[in-house]
Structure 1
Amino acid sequence: MLDRTDDIALSAENWLTEFARALEHPDDRTLRPLFHPDSFWRDVLALSWNLQTLQGLDAILTELVLLARRASPRHFRIDPDRAPPRRVKRAGTDTIEAIFSFETRDGRGHGIIRLVPDADDGHRLKAWTLLTALEELKGFEESVGSARPRGQSYSRDFRGPNWLDQRRASVAYADRDPAVLVVGGGQAGLSIAARLKQLSVDTLIVDREKRIGDNWRKRYHALTLHNQVHVNHLPYMPFPPNWPVYIPKDKLANWFEAYVDAMELNFWTDSRFERGSYDEATGRWSAVLRRGDGSERVLHPRHIVMATGVSGIANIPDIPTLKNFSGTVLHSSGYGDGETWKGKRAVVVGTGNSGHDIAQDLHSSGAIVTLVQRSPTLVTNIEPSAQLAYATYSEGSLEDNDLIAVSMPLALARKTHQMITEQSKQFDKELLDGLNAVGFKLDYGEDNTGWQFKYLTRGGGYYFNVGCSDLVARREIALRQFSDIASFAAGGLRMKNGEELAADLIVLATGYKPQEALVRQLFGEELAARVGPIWGYGDGQELRNMYMRTPQRGLWFIAGSLAQCRINSKFLGLQIKAIEERLL
């Protein structure tokens, strides 16, 4: 193994030079010696125009030879403006990691190579993981930095419309249709609209709320983000350096409002997307919108981007006896503040983040709270355990860390999160023992992959402890199992052991239906069946129908955390731009 830093850089450069030479006339014979037998290649649009992961030497070489002949990748070099080649540990493996740049016939890209020695080939350094990701399209670069628009600085028309007049006309869509209609104005909608704006693709966001940011502002009173500020920036416009580590919901909501103004995004508030149908002959949608004044507007965009979140419709479980309860029943999406319930008895059904946070808020307001668990739940302390997944973001640039996040194949990401889960269990042992003692049912995700994969596969099922678990462990918040409830009655709950549990309020923190339910509601059964499952992993190593072309032409999906939306909006925007310019 090489030890000196110079040798690390030289090793990466030598591998990249050999790789570039092999791609000039790509074939199995010249490429095979460069890749480890147990290797991975993730291509994000650069060569394949898809988001795809190949695992195993033979699968990689078959695809790489084919795609390289089509895309003509060239001009590979270690990028001097990114983190230099370095020795790091990824998914428990010591590796040399280097960031490089390259070009294809259509665009420019960045990639990451990780080299490990092949013990069966004289410990020769070979590619363990390879990322090739499209950064920009040639001739259609973003209007940022040196390419920023000049505006009216020169050749001003003093009698013509000024900037404000132009913005008002742009937002009104009185005489045109947008090329892209984005449904949903949270972080997903803002991210993709901002990307498309810089690519000069006419884009309109519509949201049913009356004010930009209300999708955060109107959530329960005590809500703050559960991951830290340095991970959560939106594209192009990072949060100010004096912002708190954990962002309060109202502060984030106000930032969304400022972001729309600063980035000049076209946004219609109080506008509900009611239904859509696609005309194959014209390649356009008929999108029916209901405006706040009751009027109807039909737009005909070429693309619709659903940016309504991982899930959009509240999941109200069918509990036949719940109608017997004479008190107040709320879904967690309708819960506001616990002060109203001071001195009252509250039952919160559901033990994910929302259920725990609402239970703690009610308890802090003086309510007598019982938390009802429906299924085993992953619990991890918000610090340090929940932040371990973002460890790389504590060092280096945001751009480098986003690229590192993109570069991790699913199989290695799962292994990484299994290691994080084991580490978290050690950090949180005292808390977990306390929860076990009071009968709280714990789990750690499928194959011990932790909270991140619970989110990626089902959108929930975990709690970042900010104090509620301690209250449960100390029995200050009571715990019951849903399976022990016999029925609901006028005054509360009847347990199977004959006990009666009085309640004035029942909060159903029971999550949301998957996005397929919303697609069926808005576009009909036939289109929903054509698109298929959304979110989670199927047979492949990519999230299903997310950030990529779907079986329905012109229909796209974007969702996830602020970081996921920031990262993947770039790739979604590039695909839409490529289609608009007939490159794809």
Structure 2
Amino acid sequence: MEYCLREIKGKQAHDPIFIEKMMKWPSSRCLYVPGPVIVGAGPSGLATAACLKEKGVPSVILERSSRIASLWQLKTYDRLRLHLPKQFCELPLMAFPSDFPIYPTKQQFVDYLEAYAQKFDIKPRFDETVSQAEYDGALGFWRVRSVGVKGKVMEYVCRWLVVATGENAEAMTPEMEGMEEFGGEVRHTSWYKSGEEFRGKTVLVVGCGNSGMEVCLDLCNHNAKPSLVVRDTVHVLPQEMLGIPTFGLSMWLLKWLPLRLVDRLLLIVSRLILGDTARFGLPRPELGPLELKNLSGKTPVLDVGTLAKIKSGDIKVRPSIKSLKRHAVVFVDGKTENFDAIILATGYKSNVPSWLKEKKMFSEKDGYPRKSFPNGWKGERGLYAVGFTKRGLLGTSMDATKIACNIQRCWNDEAKHRLPFAPLFPQ
């Protein structure tokens, strides 16, 4: 390792002798990457790698799991579908198959991502968890350290670093008083697959976002007895309005009308279709759904049938939890109820602060870029972020395209000094 770093020190990426030496390093623990290192092989990492390849820039993806899109493949429930129409969830340069439904299933989306990786010949380095990445000012390069199977440590040296671990890297599990006393199962939605294993049981679902609502519906469909904890206000919108997907209708209206007027129209139509949700324990925020999304990133719930189950009483709405007891939950209103299990639909968080030693671009508090959309994709010294827009796959595609264009300009400026690229990692 020390030999590797001595060879780099004081050199520049466009020095042909420097590059030639690095391509011949005998150490298997330290490798020079001529193009960007991308951390994460989810949709964000795949999109960025594809856009770079289309522009002639090679990259290396490091992925902690054993497969692409591990969150989608390993940590999502069976009934999951894309919440938005497929045209708003496509990655750059490749559309969904025409025979896919408007809202593709989880497996269809995974198949699409597998086909995407195959089309652009994207081959991540799997089972490599990035433990640290920092910019070495003396070298003028990023040093990215990963830990693989059996504890094997690798260090990659690169000119550009793309953070593609996204908003959903780690599950958020809130602390609850008395959790150790509860005795029943407490599980995050990342480990929930189907309501079949909860058939006949009373289950408390904590969190009223899209995941919490869908898990409640799934539990109902498997003859469980779910209750839903609603800790805050929430916008519930019909998935379609007047036969048109709500999200698509919103995007179209925003071309012609101001955001607040579009919000008013959405709420009027929602009330006509769904009724007053506050009557059923789901009060709406003061800000409209689109304005709230822009300011806080909080996504409105697109109803797929859960509200009807709440109205019928099949799903009961409960306030915040005060504490847990033996197979029981005490709510803030003083009531106590027995439950067999608790499902935490409490979302995810970024894990960037745990491994990226950089404080200017990313917030240490929440792991998001400090600059809000659309300016959060680019940092300094060749650092980039993709998939942190709080705008889903549409935001990911926008980021990936910008990053590839920006890196390509630097790549082309240095091309006249660069030796022909040879693959570093034979498959």
Give the shorter-chain TM-score range: 0.7 to 0.9
* Structure 1 residues 371 and 343: CA distance shift in structure 2, 3 A: same
Partner of 2:227, secondary structure, is: strand
Q: Indicate conservation of the 8 Å contact 2:31/2:156, yes or no.
A: no
Determine which of 137, 144, 147 is the counterpart of 1:287.
144
User: How far off is 1:435 after superposition?
Assistant: 2.5
Correspondence for 1:387: 245
Correspondence for 1:523: 356
Partner of 2:240, secondary structure, is: coil
Correspondence for 2:319: 481
- Matched residues in 2 for 1:568 and 1:468: separation? 33
Correspondence for 1:191: 47
Question: Any idea what the Cα deviations from partners look like across 1:153-174, whole Å, max 9, x if unmatched?
Answer: xxxxxxxxxxxxxxxxxxx999
Partner of 2:178, secondary structure, is: helix
Determine which of 546, 551, 572 is the counterpart of 2:376.
546
Determine which of 472, 486, 500 is the counterpart of 2:336.
500
> Which structure features the higher share of strand residues?
1
Name the aligned partner's letter for residue 578 of structure 1: R
Q: Indicate conservation of the 8 Å contact 2:209/2:345, yes or no.
A: yes
Partner of 1:300, secondary structure, is: strand
Correspondence for 2:425: none
User: How far off is 1:223 after superposition?
Assistant: 0.5
- Matched residues in 2 for 1:496 and 1:459: separation? 27
Name the aligned partner's letter for residue 241 of structure 1: S
* Structure 1 residues 225 and 181: CA distance shift in structure 2, 3 A: same
Correspondence for 2:408: 577
Matched, 1:463 2:320: no
Correspondence for 1:377: 234
Q: Indicate conservation of the 8 Å contact 1:350/1:510, yes or no.
A: yes
Q: Indicate conservation of the 8 Å contact 1:537/1:544, yes or no.
A: no
- Matched residues in 2 for 1:355 and 1:497: separation? 21
* Structure 1 residues 553 and 353: CA distance shift in structure 2, 3 A: same
TM-score by length of 1: 0.60
Alignment of 1:390-409 (within 5 A): 390-391=248-249
- Matched residues in 2 for 1:378 and 1:324: separation? 34
Determine which of 265, 270, 273 is the counterpart of 2:127.
270
Q: Indicate conservation of the 8 Å contact 1:326/1:491, yes or no.
A: yes
Alignment of 1:125-274 (within 5 A): 176-218=32-74, 219-274=76-131
* Structure 1 residues 376 and 256: CA distance shift in structure 2, 3 A: same
- Matched residues in 2 for 1:511 and 1:175: separation? 36
Matched, 1:442 2:284: yes
Name the aligned partner's letter for residue 353 of structure 2: R
- Matched residues in 1 for 2:203 and 2:293: separation? 27
Name the aligned partner's letter for residue 387 of structure 1: P
Partner of 2:107, secondary structure, is: helix
Question: Any idea what the Cα deviations from partners look like across 1:450-477, whole Å, max 9, x if unmatched?
Answer: 14x5444444353110011221122210
User: How far off is 1:545 after superposition?
Assistant: 5.3
Question: Any idea what the Cα deviations from partners look like across 1:513-545, whole Å, max 9, x if unmatched?
Answer: 3x4xx2321124xx235644765886xxx5175
User: How far off is 1:239 after superposition?
Assistant: 1.4
- Matched residues in 2 for 1:571 and 1:206: separation? 21
* Structure 1 residues 523 and 565: CA distance shift in structure 2, 3 A: closer
Q: Indicate conservation of the 8 Å contact 1:376/1:443, yes or no.
A: yes
* Structure 1 residues 392 and 499: CA distance shift in structure 2, 3 A: closer
- Matched residues in 2 for 1:536 and 1:426: separation? 35
* Structure 1 residues 283 and 497: CA distance shift in structure 2, 3 A: closer
Q: Indicate conservation of the 8 Å contact 1:388/1:420, yes or no.
A: no
Matched, 1:558 2:386: yes
Determine which of 428, 453, 460 is the counterpart of 2:270.
428
User: How far off is 1:266 after superposition?
Assistant: 3.1
* Structure 1 residues 352 and 441: CA distance shift in structure 2, 3 A: same
- Matched residues in 1 for 2:170 and 2:337: separation? 30
* Structure 1 residues 293 and 255: CA distance shift in structure 2, 3 A: farther
Matched, 1:340 2:197: yes
5+ long unaligned stretches in structure 1 = 1-171, 395-403
- Matched residues in 2 for 1:247 and 1:173: separation? 41
* Structure 1 residues 348 and 392: CA distance shift in structure 2, 3 A: closer
User: How far off is 1:314 after superposition?
Assistant: 2.0
User: How far off is 1:181 after superposition?
Assistant: 1.2
Q: Indicate conservation of the 8 Å contact 2:201/2:225, yes or no.
A: yes
Alignment of 1:7-18 (within 5 A): none
- Matched residues in 1 for 2:251 and 2:93: separation? 17
* Structure 1 residues 391 and 530: CA distance shift in structure 2, 3 A: closer
Q: Which has the larger radius of gyration?
A: 1
- Matched residues in 2 for 1:285 and 1:536: separation? 18
* Structure 1 residues 344 and 440: CA distance shift in structure 2, 3 A: same
Partner of 1:528, secondary structure, is: coil
Identity of aligned residues (%): 25
- Matched residues in 2 for 1:360 and 1:299: separation? 46
Determine which of 154, 173, 188 is the counterpart of 1:297.
154
- Matched residues in 1 for 2:80 and 2:327: separation? 29
Partner of 2:117, secondary structure, is: helix
- Matched residues in 1 for 2:36 and 2:376: separation? 17
Name the aligned partner's letter for residue 466 of structure 1: V
Matched, 1:490 2:323: no
* Structure 1 residues 494 and 259: CA distance shift in structure 2, 3 A: same
Partner of 1:479, secondary structure, is: strand
- Matched residues in 2 for 1:181 and 1:205: separation? 6
Correspondence for 2:260: 418
Partner of 2:298, secondary structure, is: coil
User: How far off is 1:283 after superposition?
Assistant: 2.1
Partner of 2:196, secondary structure, is: helix
Q: Indicate conservation of the 8 Å contact 2:165/2:352, yes or no.
A: no
- Matched residues in 1 for 2:294 and 2:130: separation? 26
Question: Any idea what the Cα deviations from partners look like across 1:278-322, whole Å, max 9, x if unmatched?
Answer: 111222122111224542221112111111223432222232332
Partner of 2:323, secondary structure, is: strand
Correspondence for 1:37: none
Question: Any idea what the Cα deviations from partners look like across 1:302-353, whole Å, max 9, x if unmatched?
Answer: 1111112234322222323323211111122222221110011100011011
Q: Indicate conservation of the 8 Å contact 2:200/2:225, yes or no.
A: yes
Partner of 2:60, secondary structure, is: strand
- Matched residues in 2 for 1:476 and 1:456: separation? 33
TM-score by length of 2: 0.80
Question: Any idea what the Cα deviations from partners look like across 1:344-403, whole Å, max 9, x if unmatched?
Answer: 110001101111111111111111000001110111011128934424988xxxxxxxxx
- Matched residues in 2 for 1:254 and 1:276: separation? 31
